[in-house]
Amino acid sequence: MNIFKKIVFALSLIALSLPAVETFVKFFKTNKLQGAYFPKNKPMFSDSAWLSNSYQKQAEEYLTDTFGFRNTLIRLYNQIDYDLYKKLHAYDIVVGKGNSLQATTHYDAYLGKLDIPHYNFDSLTFKFKRLQDTLQKLNKFLFFVIAPSKGCYALDKAPYWYNTKKKNKSFYKELTERFTNKNINYLDFNYLFKNNKNKKLFTDYGVHWARFSVVKAYDTLLRFIEHKSCYKNLPILKEYSEKTTRTPHQNDIDLTTSLNLLKPFRYKKRFTECNFLFEKRNEQKVNLMIISDSFYWLLNSYGLAENTMNEVSFFYYYTTVYKNTSVNNISQINLKNEIDNSNVIFIMATLTNLDKPGWGFIDSAYQIYFKNNW
């Protein structure tokens, strides 16, 4: 009997030691975890690091990040939590009503729950308006686009435990009120989307606007430019039809990519795809400059801007600049030249990013045109 117990105990010990062995031997190959995260660096030992406990802290973090079977264990645990409790282990993502995936920061932004530091709205609107008017004299159209937020669009799909009471005045409300009062050009997609809820303009599994919905959104954007600026007869949506599919495009399921489950995520809803044709109505060459968050990637997912405009430069969070086939850091860019070369300029941000409108573009552009002239 003791022999049997010793075997059982030895097996337990082997199980206990396996992760340590696997850490160094790497006998099994596992897939990398999905999503954005910062892997921990191997700490450097020193007397001072040891005495201050920083070495120990870093070493523990490093081991927790690299121990054997880690990725599989995380996927297993995430799967159990999802199957049993509908709980997800991905930053900000929760399971909403109807098994949809929702992002709580978007709800928080819409309901005024984000702890946002004090922002000088007066200075922002003053500078923006002054820039808008100055560029207008140079035949350049500057405006602001508020990208739609799922936090507003799908508030009714929030999980039962999420408190949907409004807390403070949101940045969205504050900015749109001030933009209206100061005659600042802006296009509020959030408002337009909210009033078209029946059209399912967000999928249940994505945080950005649905892929098909950007076609009409882009058409709306062009009509807005035509209406407000000197640029007329821009391309127009000529043909448009929708169809449903069970195979989603990656853009429509972006919330599922960082869930790290053991089994593939099951979609309970169908997705909409569309066929369309934009007709070019004249040979007027319009160059577009866009300062935007990730919503522009979706807006351009069919190559809409690039196929309908003469030249497009995209300033992603005003840090990386994509133009034609080149990618540059903002520090390598001459902003004055870029603005001079552009006809239409817009800043686009969704509700969660309205606390940093333009991410520094407004101040930089203002410096160019009104240096020493406050």
Binding site for another protein (CB under 8 A): 1-2, 4-6, 8-9, 11-13, 15-17, 19-20, 23, 50-51, 53, 56, 59-60, 63-64, 67-70, 73-74, 76-78, 80-81, 84-87, 89, 94, 159-163
Longest CA pairwise span in the chain (Å): 94
User: What minimum distance in Å lies between the beta carbon of 105 and another protein?
Assistant: 15
Quick count: other Cβ atoms within 10 Å of Cβ 80? 13
Q: Of the two residues 86 and 238, which places its CB atom closer to another protein in the complex?
A: 86
Name the 3-class secondary structure at 10: helix
Per-state percent for the chain, helix, strand, coil, to nearest 5:
45, 15, 40
Nearer to another protein, 74 or 192 (CB): 74
**Residue 98, Cβ density class (10 Å: 0-12 exposed, 13-18 middle, ≥19 buried):** exposed
Nearest distance, CB of residue 257 and another protein, angstroms: 17
Exposure of 322 in the CB half-sphere (CA atoms within 13 A)? 14
Write down the least CB distance from residue 98 to another protein, Å: 15
Q: Residue 74 or 274: which CB sits closer to another protein? A: 74
Phi-psi region of 35 (alpha: psi -120 to 50; beta: other; left: phi over 0): left
Query: In the complex, what is the shortest distance from the CB of residue 41 to another protein, in angstroms, rounded to a whole number?
Result: 16
Is 34 or 294 the residue whose CB approaches another protein more closely?
Answer: 34
CB of 104 to another protein, least distance (A): 11
Q: Are 309 and 105 in contact (CB under 8 A)?
A: no
Q: Which two tokens stand for residue 31?
A: 């897939």
Cβ closer to another protein: 42 or 280?
42
CB of 81 to another protein, least distance (A): 7
Which C-beta is closer to another protein: that of 72 or that of 196?
A: 72
Nearer to another protein, 52 or 250 (CB): 52
User: Would you give the distance in Å from CA 203 to the centre of its chain?
Assistant: 15
> Exposed e or buried b for every residue in 288-301, given b needs 16+ CB within 10 A?
bbbbbbbbbebbbb
* Axis crossing angle, helix 54-66 with helix 70-85, rounded to the nearest 10: 70
Least distance to another protein from the beta carbon of 350, Å? Answer: 24
